[in-house]
């Protein structure tokens, strides 16, 4: 069965990367949650997509210029809808505390391809260890140096390079960056690429698959997982129930 990962939580119904979006993903029956991690000014891993606060909070400026304490006071929900005004930028620790007892998979994307947050890999691994989440987490990043670093720190945790398109024989590249799986943009998945991944036994979890046509196509290929903003729709397509 192809797993369904909720992209930034159930981000079409709730503000992305907030506890509301993660709780909704669990209620929606997603098999896994994808989220983005950066570091606050005082080095706390926090969950937010952009390097700036501007788009998804009521504050302007770089995430890296605010302490975690300051981030907890920022409204990260009203931009989406007034009813989410009590949502804040969650810490990774707070999120792990919530998810650890629940039967759901996790994909942590290290958002360090623009800013190379020093210590992000180490801190993320320590928290995953603390909450016993290593066996059901895959760490991905567009920064593939970071994935190699992770592998040196922990030989067991699954890692996956994120990429957009155009990598020659990406199943070979996955090995080159010491990873076990790949997270490609779904638009790059021509049949010969899907075939190559299958032949080399490399699991893939493409992003961000929101069209039902693509969902059905990828389920038919029997890939490992899809990452989508619409976990409920994806479940219906997977069950053959239509949208």
Is-catalytic flag, 49?
yes
- In the block, residue with structure tokens 């947050």: 117
Residues 109-138 touching Mg ion, rule: CB under 5 A, are 109
Give me the least distance between CB of 242 and ligand G3P, in Å please.
Answer: 26
Residue 106 β-bridge partners: 33, 137
Residues 67-96 touching ligand G3P, rule: CB under 6 A, are none
Give the C-alpha separation, 103 to 147, whole Å: 26
Give the C-alpha separation, 125 to 137, whole Å: 10
Which residue from 207, 223, 231, 238 is in contact with ligand G3P, where contact means CB under 6 A? 207
Site string for ligand G3P, 126-155 (x = CB under 6 A): --------------x---------------
Of residues 35 and 71, the one with the C-beta less far from Mg ion? 35
Phi-psi region of 131 (alpha: psi -120 to 50; beta: other; left: phi over 0): alpha
Is-catalytic flag, 200?
no
Cα dist from 116 to 146, 148, 158, whole Å: 9, 14, 21
46 binds ligand G3P (CB under 6 A): no
Of residues 87 and 229, the one with the C-beta less far from Mg ion? 229
Give me the least distance between CB of 165 and Mg ion, in Å please.
Answer: 17
Residues in binding contact with Mg ion, number by CB under 5 A: 2
* Candidates 33-41, 58-66, 131-139, 170-178; binding stretch for Mg ion (CB under 5 A): 33-41
SS3 159: strand
Q: Exposed, middle or buried by CB within 10 Å (0-12, 13-18, 19+), for 132?
A: exposed
224 binds ligand G3P (CB under 6 A): no
12 binds ligand G3P (CB under 6 A): no
Torsion sign, CA atoms 133, 137, 143, 145: positive
229 binds Mg ion (CB under 5 A): no
121 binds ligand G3P (CB under 6 A): no
162 binds ligand G3P (CB under 6 A): yes
CB 189 within 8 A of CB 197: no
For the chain, the maximum distance between any two Cα atoms, rounded to a whole number of angstroms, is 50
Cα dist from 220 to 134, 214, 223, 238, whole Å: 29, 10, 8, 9
Of residues 40 and 107, the one with the C-beta less far from ligand G3P? 107
Residues in binding contact with ligand G3P, number by CB under 6 A: 11
State the residues that interact with ligand G3P by CB under 6 A. 7, 34, 36, 49, 109, 140, 162, 183, 207-208, 227
Residue numbers annotated as active site: 7, 49
């Amino acid at each position: 069965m192809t797993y369904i990962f909720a992209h930034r939580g159930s981000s079409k119904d709730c503000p992305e990367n907030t506890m509301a979006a993660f709780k909704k993903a669990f209620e929606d029956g997603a098999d896994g949650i994808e989220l983005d991690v950066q570091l606050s000014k005082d080095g706390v891993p926090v969950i937010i997509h952009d390097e700036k606060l501007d788009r998804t909070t009521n504050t302007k400026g770089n995430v890296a210029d605010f302490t975690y304490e300051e981030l907890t006071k920022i409204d990260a929900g009203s931009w989406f809808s007034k009813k989410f005004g009590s949502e804040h930028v969650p810490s990774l620790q707070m999120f792990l505390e919530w998810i650890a007892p629940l039967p759901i998979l996790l994909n942590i994307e290290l958002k360090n391809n623009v800013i190379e947050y020093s210590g992000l890999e180490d801190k993320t691994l320590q928290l995953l260890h603390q909450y016993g989440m290593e066996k059901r987490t895959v760490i991905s990043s567009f920064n593939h140096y970071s994935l190699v670093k992770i592998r040196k720190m922990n030989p067991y945790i699954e890692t996956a390079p994120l990429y957009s398109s155009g990598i020659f024989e990406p199943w070979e590249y996955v090995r080159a960056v010491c990873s076990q799986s790949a997270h490609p943009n779904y638009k790059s998945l021509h049949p010969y690429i899907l075939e190559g991944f299958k032949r080399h036994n490399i699991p893939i979890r493409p992003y961000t698959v929101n069209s039902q046509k693509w969902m059905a196509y990828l389920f038919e290929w029997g890939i490992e997982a899809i990452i989508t903003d619409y976990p409920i729709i994806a479940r219906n397509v997977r069950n053959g129930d239509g949208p």
